């Protein structure tokens, strides 16, 4: 029995080993075999742009704001109660030049004007009276001078007769008294003439003052009616019938919508580019204004009128103003609208215009030749929005890939729709 147990102890490991080898052999014989898969090259679907060489015009784009060329702040020119307003006196109301905006009570100003006229007429009448007095005094002065000359000759005659003892002392004294009286009258006439002349001068000054007062009262009377100085639209209206206004109180703003301009800022680099394209300056140059409202777009033509005298230190840009050229379109652009401005820049001969997606790092583009991509080097001449003008290793009719993806590179297999 013990011998049998020893035998089992010796045989058991061998049996286990044999079974393990059999299982391992079975697993090795039945394991799946790995066969190499055939690698299929991926083909990328891309969009292309056909190269067209020629003279390409660069565009300079900026953004600006529409402003009225004339923006008048209407204020009360005289004080008083408003008794009438224009039916269109409201925000957005259309007003023609010369139309009444508001009417202020004019009774006090009319009374003042009449008083000024009366004072002026009274002053003129007094002036005429002084003129008549001057004429009379001048005639009296002449007559007194004649009488004095006669009295002097009579005195001289009597002195001769007295020396001949023909007349008495009393006759001589009477003649001397007459000369004295005539001298006094002649001096008084001269003095009266000078006094009246001084009165005339003073009265003329009074008349000038009265005329100024009358002009002022007439102006105030006319200013009781506030008149629109030009055609336009009202905004910021703040007056109603019955309201009492003081001088210089704000009434409304009048915007000239028939003559509007766009104000935009142009970086100094872009400004220099435009000057290079047109050496005689930008004033008088045409540009395009694009107004986008909602889902619609409206284009206008404008002409550059003036340019700021200096570059703004804060923005490094130049402020430019261009007047919109009037059109017959019923859609009127409003002040404050945000618009895009497009100006033609320099022309680059024998160049190519491509979407910005076509140019990769290091100024490289990829051209589809057959089914493979070729790398071409280019030189960027100008950028305008999402378009780029380039020159370089591109020929007429080349197919430039404009689709961007990370794996793009020379030799890549692609196809276009």
Task: Give the predicted TM-score (pTM) of the model.
Answer: 0.63
Does position 156 have pLDDT exceeding 90, yes or no?
no
CB-CB contact of 223 with 217 (8 Å): no
In CATH, the architecture of 54-66+259-416 is Beta Barrel (2.40)
Q: What is the pLDDT of residue 178?
A: 78
Say what percent of the chain tops pLDDT 70: 88
Give pLDDT tens digits for 66-124.
998 888 999 999 999 999 999 999 998 889 999 999 999 999 999 999 999 999 999 99
Indicate the length of the chain as a whole number. 417
The pLDDT assigned to 314 comes to 80
What class is the 70-105+224-255 domain? Answer: mainly beta
What are the residue boundaries of the structural domains of the chain, listed by start?
Answer: 54-66+259-416, 70-105+224-255, 107-222
Contact, 301 vs 289, CB < 8 A?
A: yes
Which CA distances in Å does 359 have to 72, 117, 343, 386, 398? 51, 84, 24, 11, 14
On whether the 107-222 domain is CATH 3.40.50.970, my answer is no
pLDDT one-digit tens code per residue, 10-52: 666 776 677 777 776 666 667 666 555 555 678 888 898 899 9
**Which residues fall within 8 angstroms of residue 21, CB to CB, at 6 or more apart?**
none
**Alpha-carbon gap, residue 103 to 89, rounded angstroms:** 12
The first and second tokens of residue 266, run together, are 């142009």
Q: CB under 8 Å to 168, separation ≥6 — which residues?
A: 162
């Amino acid at each position: 029995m013990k011998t049998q147990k020893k035998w089992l102890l010796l045989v058991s490991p061998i049996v286990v080993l044999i079974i393990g080898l059999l299982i391992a052999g079975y697993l090795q014989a039945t394991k799946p075999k790995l066969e190499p898969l055939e690698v299929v090259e991926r083909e990328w679907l891309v969009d292309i742009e056909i190269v067209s060489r020629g003279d390409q015009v660069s565009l300079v784009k900026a953004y600006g704001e529409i402003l009225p060329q004339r923006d008048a702040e209407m204020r009360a020119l005289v004080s008083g109660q408003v008794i009438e307003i224009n039916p269109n006196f409201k925000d957005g109301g259309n007003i023609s030049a010369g139309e009444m905006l508001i009417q202020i009570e004019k009774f006090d100003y009319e009374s003042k004007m009449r008083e000024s006229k009366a004072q002026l007429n009274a002053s003129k009448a007094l002036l005429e009276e002084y003129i008549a007095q001057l004429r009379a005094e001048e005639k009296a002065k002449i007559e007194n001078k004649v009488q004095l000359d006669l009295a002097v000759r009579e005195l001289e005659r009597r002195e001769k007769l007295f020396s001949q003892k023909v007349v008495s002392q009393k006759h001589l004294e009477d003649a001397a008294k007459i000369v004295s009286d005539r001298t006094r009258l002649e001096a008084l006439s001269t003095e009266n003439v000078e006094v009246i002349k001084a009165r005339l001068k003073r009265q003329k000054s009074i008349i000038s003052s009265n005329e100024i007062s009358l002009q002022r009262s007439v102006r105030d009377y006319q200013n009781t009616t506030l008149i629109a100085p030009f055609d336009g639209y009202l905004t910021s209206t703040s007056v109603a019938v019955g309201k009492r206004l003081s001088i210089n109180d704000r009434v409304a703003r009048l915007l000239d919508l028939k003559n509007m301009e766009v104000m935009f800022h142009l970086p100094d680099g872009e400004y220099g580019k435009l000057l290079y394209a047109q050496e005689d300056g930008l004033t008088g140059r045409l540009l395009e204004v694009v107004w986008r409202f909602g889902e619609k777009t409206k284009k206008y033509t404008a002409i550059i009128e003036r340019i700021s005298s200096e570059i703004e230190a804060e923005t490094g840009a130049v402020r430019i103003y261009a007047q919109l050229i009037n059109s017959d379109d019923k859609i009127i652009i409003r002040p404050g609208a945000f618009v895009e401005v497009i100006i033609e820049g320099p022309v680059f001969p024998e160049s190519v215009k491509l979407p910005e997606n076509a140019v990769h790092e290091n100024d490289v583009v990829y051209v589809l030749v057959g089914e493979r991509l070729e790398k071409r080097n280019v030189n960027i001449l100008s950028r305008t929005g999402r378009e780029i003008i380039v020159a370089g290793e591109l020929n007429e009719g080349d197919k430039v890939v404009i689709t961007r993806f990370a794996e793009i590179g020379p030799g890549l297999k692609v196809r276009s729709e």
